[in-house]
């Protein structure tokens, strides 16, 4: 698998493979519980169209490479 193959992986599918399911949806994407830390309210947002994520609880965000690194 090369970098271009990894970039084609959906963040939503990646999270599903890790056992995380969306808890809600808004006009820009999906909300999840953070896979990086424990929380009581979902604050992890994924924009599947842009292939980016942002964790409002920690202030971190990025693409699939930064998520895998977390």
Average pLDDT over residues 10-20: 96
- Number of domain units in the chain: 1
CATH number of the domain to which 53 belongs: 3.90.580.10
**Structural domain of 7:** 3-69
Q: What is the pLDDT of residue 3?
A: 87
pLDDT digits 0-9 by tens, 25-48: 999 999 999 999 999 999 999 999
- CB burial class (10 A; 0-12, 13-18, 19+) of residue 58? middle
């Amino acid at each position: 698998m090369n970098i271009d193959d990894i970039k084609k992986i959906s963040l939503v599918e990646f999270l599903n493979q890790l056992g995380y399911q969306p808890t809600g949806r808004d006009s820009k994407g999906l909300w999840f519980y953070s896979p990086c830390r424990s929380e009581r309210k979902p604050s992890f947002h994924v924009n599947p169209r842009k292939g980016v994520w942002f964790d409002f609880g920690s202030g971190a965000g990025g693409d699939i490479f930064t998520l895998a690194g977390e």
